Amino acid sequence: MLSSNQPHVTSARYDIIGDVHGCAKTLVKLLQAMGYQNNDQGYYHPTRKTIFVGDIVDRGPRIREALHIVRDMCQAQQAECVLGNHEFYAIAYFTLLNNGGSLRYLRPHSAHHDRLIAETLEQFEQHPKDWEMMLDWFKTLPLYIEKKSFRVVHACWDSVLIDRLKEQFAAGHVDDAFVAATENHSSFAAAVFSRLTRGTSMHLPPGVLIKGRDGIDRSLFRTRFWSQSPQTYADVVFQPDPLPDYLIDTPLSDAERARLVHYGDNERPVFIGHYWLQGTPKILRPNVACLDYSAVKYGKLVAYRFDGEQKLDNRKFCWVSVEREEAQ
Ligand SMILES: [Mn+2]
């Protein structure tokens, strides 16, 4: 029986943490700054739980350690974690498909895909059993978390897709057949993984390309799902590289507007990661907060300390700045 002075964890007290990408030292600093302690089962807080928005894996210097911290917290029921696009990439990179005797990987081992997973494979090279365990764990992660007072998804809350997914997988995590079905890019499974873990984008007008800071030409731009009555490209664009001036006032066509995902102001708060934001953490809407502030690119590892409020508050962000690689 619970004694009256025992700390009581309500369902609404959560620290939601952004994309870790192998920054284990920074993660420990953030947990400690928020009053978490460590015992033989991992980090815990006497009165709060943690939710990770995904993308624990890839890029950073301490990927294995970061995965162990997060997995241990999940195993001890001190945390939950949604699947990020990078965990999905890892699953797909190691998923072998066999159609009519020809074996191939669900995620082709192209130079680009090899590059994205390189740090992870290097850091697990001497620990193959450990990596297998992590891959098995990734497969158990839900694509979204929905609580009475809030929601979490890596990149985009698309209620049409999520409602349909719920009918098939009530707990939010899928099975091997659903993962394999993403090979067909027009399948429901492919739409779910792409939309929920990578968000929405829009095609630029025919023939127009924009060059990103990474030097890559793109015919698409990332869009936000929380715009209210957007009229122009400026109202929906959401990415580190701004659109060129001559495009920014382009009116949205009815067809473009119809394809946008809409997250209403009256819906419960939703927390996301994924978008490589910079600067001082602040909410995107009263009910939308992004927690990815580019920790692995010497930005910040950010948490939002949620206590059930339906209007989010900029004072509830907590973060650790990453100065250089040794600190990651
Ligand atoms: Mn991501």
Domain limits, the chain: 14-327
* CA atoms of 88 and 121, how far apart (whole Å): 15
Q: 141 C-alpha vs ligand 1 centroid, how far in Å?
A: 15
Q: Of 178, 13, 2, 167, which is closest to residue 83 (Cα–Cα)?
A: 178
Q: 152 C-alpha vs ligand 1 centroid, how far in Å?
A: 13
Tokens (6 digits) for 245 = 């001036």
For residue 316, the tally of other CB atoms under 10 A from its CB is 16
Q: Is 145 helix (H, G, I), strand (E, B) or coil?
A: strand
Q: 6 C-alpha vs ligand 1 centroid, how far in Å?
A: 38
Q: 126 C-alpha vs ligand 1 centroid, how far in Å?
A: 26
Q: 245 C-alpha vs ligand 1 centroid, how far in Å?
A: 27
User: C-alpha angle with apex 19: 16 to 22, nearest 5 degrees?
Assistant: 125
Contacts of 107 (CB under 8 A, 6+ apart): 89, 92, 93, 95, 113
The pLDDT of residue 57 is above 90: yes
Q: 315 C-alpha vs ligand 1 centroid, how far in Å?
A: 25
Strand partners, 81: 52
Q: 85 C-alpha vs ligand 1 centroid, how far in Å?
A: 5
Q: What is the mean pLDDT of the chain?
A: 93
Q: Which fold has domain 14-327?
A: Purple Acid Phosphatase; chain A, domain 2 (3.60.21)
Q: Is 293 helix (H, G, I), strand (E, B) or coil?
A: strand
241 CB-contact burial (10 Å; exposed 0-12 / middle 13-18 / buried 19+)? middle
Q: 100 C-alpha vs ligand 1 centroid, how far in Å?
A: 34
Q: 180 C-alpha vs ligand 1 centroid, how far in Å?
A: 20
Handedness of CA 225, 227, 228, 232 (dihedral sign): negative
Q: 153 C-alpha vs ligand 1 centroid, how far in Å?
A: 10
Q: Which residue has the tokens 């074996």?
A: 103
CA dist 87 to 36, 82, 241, Å? 25, 9, 25
Q: Say which residue, 271 or 216, is predicted with more confidence.
A: 271
Contact 134, 117 (CB under 8 A): no
Read off φ and ψ for residue 314, nearest 5 degrees. Answer: -60, -20
Q: 4 C-alpha vs ligand 1 centroid, how far in Å?
A: 42
Q: How large is the average pLDDT for residues 126-135?
A: 98
Q: Give the per-residue pLDDT at 100.
A: 79
Q: 177 C-alpha vs ligand 1 centroid, how far in Å?
A: 23
Contact 317, 303 (CB under 8 A): yes
Contact 283, 289 (CB under 8 A): yes
pLDDT grade for 7, boundaries at 50, 70 and 90: very low
Q: 7 C-alpha vs ligand 1 centroid, how far in Å?
A: 35
Strand partners, 15: 50, 305
Q: 57 C-alpha vs ligand 1 centroid, how far in Å?
A: 10
- pTM of the shown model: 0.93
Q: Which residue has the tokens 């797909």?
A: 92
Contacts of 99 (CB under 8 A, 6+ apart): none
Contacts of 133 (CB under 8 A, 6+ apart): none
Q: 270 C-alpha vs ligand 1 centroid, how far in Å?
A: 16
Which protein residues have a CB closer than 5 Å to ligand 1 (ion)?
55, 84-85, 274
Q: Give the per-residue pLDDT at 99.
A: 77
The pLDDT of residue 5 is above 50: no
